[in-house]
Every structure is written in structure tokens, then in C-alpha cells.
Amino acid sequence: MTSAFSAQGLSKERHPQSRSIIFVSAEHYPAWLTTQTEFIRNWLASQSFQGRATQFVLLPDASGQCHQVVAVISGDTPYAIAHLPKLLPKGHYHRSTDSTAALSADNLLLGWGLGAYRFERYVAKIEPAVLHAEDQSACAESVLTASLEVRDWINTPTEHMGPDELEQATRYIGASFGASVSSICGEELLTQNFPTIHAVGRASHRAPRLIRLDWGDDAHPHIVLCGKGVCFDTGGLDIKAADGMRNMKKDMGGAAHALGLARLLMQNTVPVRLTLLIAAVENAIAGNAFRPGDVITTRQGLSVEIDNTDAEGRLVLSDALTLAGELKPDLIMDFATLTGAARIALGPDLPVLFCNHAETARDYLAAGETEHDPLWQLPLWQPYLGYLKSNVADLANSGASKMAGCMTAALFLQRFVPAGTAWTHLDVYSWNDSERPGKPAGGEAQGLRAAFRFLQKKYDHRHSTAS
């Protein structure tokens, strides 16, 4: 597992040769400049330094060696400084006491750690620029660690992150915090009535499974987290084109998010009774693969006609959500890389939130704003359920229309949530297509900080009045 400090350019001890970084807000840069020595003003002018946000400049000492950095930033967000770890020269750094920009210790930690991240399992390690961490909270440390673990899990190729490895990651996290972990695998899924998980995963040589983690005090409010753990998605017999299949190691991104959130709840001892359910499968192609036109009777008893084998995530989640409802929790939250339609609607950076409870949605969205981890809500527009009409079953898993694809997927899932139970569904991309500050190309934790903040404020009185 990733260590936020040892692997991502952070140190709790200041190095004796550490260089200071003067953080200056873009808004106040002109005023700051007037207070500097003639040497510094002349040096900045010679570099044509204009003091715009994200610009930085190295300041030399009398011998010509870099001994200080001026970094101009905008806002108190993690992404204000996330460009620095990979652009600054290798070495050690700390925040200067001469800094004038308002930047919290927690955002300094998160920004540097998110910006320094590289997935280095298969390549030579590169020593990053190292920042001396300050008096950041233990909570911020845990958020960074969980975020980097989610990235690692998603970035790991399916050969090393199949259903069994996903179970082992869950067992490792569970054992770290005293949780109990169990799984139902292979043919036992049929015996214990999880038919859709079995159907989607049966064609793979790697057994499908439902992974369950339980933690917490029975006296506390019960929440259930459900994650789509499709460790690779060929599309099944409705096979994806090559470009659509290329990054399908990320199709377990929902499970990675749910597991990362479970880790945060346990590590920060949020007073809830937690159940985590991960439907872990590989949607492969073989003679026993499920077919278009098949009808599967789900755990809930609803029959589903398979219109498209590439709409498999909602199938595995249907059994997990049914079990979640049987547990009669206070709240159900699911996470899934569910639809390309969500990306068409909102692009790669905005996870789509669906929710059946107005207050829950409001608080979840507000948490995303606070954490600079935005979400966007779309409606559960019931008339669109007609797009999933089947002539031979209670409903189809997909349909001929390409309209409102992420909404129809959410409406499908809602059919498996008990009426009156608060439920959220987050359709996440879990991926960065390009390299950007704090958002390296590859696996990404999206909405994780928002979900954790939302649950902290809802259930933990230590944070209920936090801004």
C-alpha cells in the first residue's frame, strides 16, 4: 500500500538543507513585491516574472545557488500548489514564515501529495521534491493515503488486480482496523442467491465473488457502501471495440472508491456501523458467457432481460443493493464506473450524483464544494424507466434508445433499493485522460473527499459544526 509520506514527497522532519518556499497570493503579489529588497526585485524583473497564479521562480543566494522559491498561488485549495512537486528541482522544501498566501496545512499536505504521485509498481522510482509537512491533521493524512491507494488499485493491471486480489486488498484494509471480512465465491453465489454476480463473472477463469466487510458498533447508525468491482470489462459477447476496452482495468474504480471510503471511516473512527459490499467479477468471453436475450431472475426476484452484456455493472450492483436493503440500513451509498453517458453529459472531471433523498443530496453536494471535490446531481426522472421495458421480463438491463443513458442506469439501480431508504449513486470516471497538476494521467479518486466529508458531518459530532 502507498505510504503518503515515504512515497509521495513528504517528510515529517525538516532536512538541514531544506529550501524555503514563499507562498504569495496572486491578488497581493504587487503589494508583496514592493516590500522586497532591490536584489529580489531586480532578479524577478530579469526573469520576466509577472506574479501570475501557478508561476514560481527560484531565488539565488550570493553564490548563485538556489536557496529560496517564490510561488504565486490562488485560493486555499489542494490544487493551488499541486504543480510544484514535479516542477521544482529535486531537493527538500518547507513553507517560509514570510509567506503571505492563506493556505491551510491540510491543503498544503494534500496538494503536495496528490501532485507528487506516480504509479511506480513497474518502473524505476524517481526521487521527488520533498516537502516538510507541518501541523496538518491526522485526518488529512488519512485522506491523502486513501486517495493514493484508490489510484494505485485502479492503476494496477487486471493481471494483478482481479477479483481475488481485490478481495485480498479488502482483507488487508479490514485487518488493519479490526473489521471482519468474508466472501461468497463461484458456484456458492448461486447457492446463496446472488445470480447476477454469478452470471456476469462465470465466463472468467477467475471466480466471481461478493466481498463483505463489517465494522463498528451495533448501536451506531448503519450505512452500507456498495462498489462495482468489474476488474476487467471486455463487454462480454457484446464486445467492446479496442479503444473502448483499452482502459477497462479501471472498471473496478467504484469498488476502489467504496473501499477507500471504508478505510477513511474506520481510520477516523466515525461512529457508524459499516458494511461494505463489493461485487467483484471479470466480464470475460467464453462458451458459458451470459448472452443477449437471456433472462436472469435477480436476488430481489425481479426478472431482467439481457439487452446488452456490456451493461453488466448495473447487474452485479443489483444483487449487492438488494442485500444492502435487506440489512435495513440508515443509508446506502454506491459507487460505480457505470456509464459512458455520464461522461458525455458532464465530462471526465464531474462525477454524476443520483439520490432519492433531497436533504442527503444537498449535504453531499455541499461537502464536495467544501472539499474542492465537486459532484453534479442529475434527476431520477421516472418516465425514462420506460426505456428499459422488456416484453419477456420485468425490465431490461439496457434498451434501444441512447437517450439519458446514465439516468436509465440509475433508475435500474433504484429498482433494487427499498422505498424509503436513503440512497446515493455516484457514477464516476475514476480516470484522468491527461497529465494535469494534482491529477496525473491514470486512475483517480473522484468524489472520495466529498463522500467522507459528508459522512463525517452527518454522523460524527466532532465534525458536525465544521465549516
Which of 159, 309, 154, 292 has its CA nearest to residue 227?
A: 154
Single out the catalytic residue among 314, 343, 453, 458.
314
Section 42-47 average pLDDT: 94
Question: At 467, is the pLDDT very low, low, confident or very high (cuts 50, 70, 90)?
Answer: very low
- Rounded CA separation 87/338 (Å): 35
pLDDT in tens, 113-140: 999 999 999 999 888 899 998 888 999 9
Q: Would you say residue 236 has pLDDT above 80?
A: yes
Annotation says 457 is catalytic: no
Annotation says 228 is catalytic: no
pLDDT in tens, 334-357: 999 999 999 999 999 999 999 999
Strand, coil or helix: what is 303?
strand
Section 4-19 average pLDDT: 77
Pairing of strands 273-283, 209-215: antiparallel
Write down the pTM of the prediction: 0.96
Check residue 277 and give left, alpha or beta (phi > 0: left; psi -120 to 50: alpha): beta
Q: Residue 194, class by beta-carbon neighbours within 10 Å (0-12 exposed, 13-18 middle, 19+ buried)?
A: buried
How far, in whole angstroms, is CA 371 from its chain's centroid? 13
pLDDT in tens, 45-93: 999 999 999 999 999 988 888 889 999 999 999 999 999 999 999 999 9
Q: Taking the CB of residue 437, how many other CB atoms lie within 10 A of it?
A: 19
% the chain with pLDDT above 70: 97
Which of 461, 230, 458, 253 has its CA nearest to residue 348?
A: 253
Section 162-189 average pLDDT: 98
Residue 4 pLDDT: 54
pLDDT in tens, 265-318: 999 999 999 999 999 999 999 999 999 999 999 999 999 999 999 999 999 999
Q: Would you say residue 6 has pLDDT above 70?
A: no
Residue 134 pLDDT: 82
pLDDT in tens, 373-431: 999 999 999 999 999 999 999 999 999 998 999 999 999 999 999 999 999 999 999 99
Which of 60, 119, 106, 59 has its CA nearest to residue 80?
A: 106
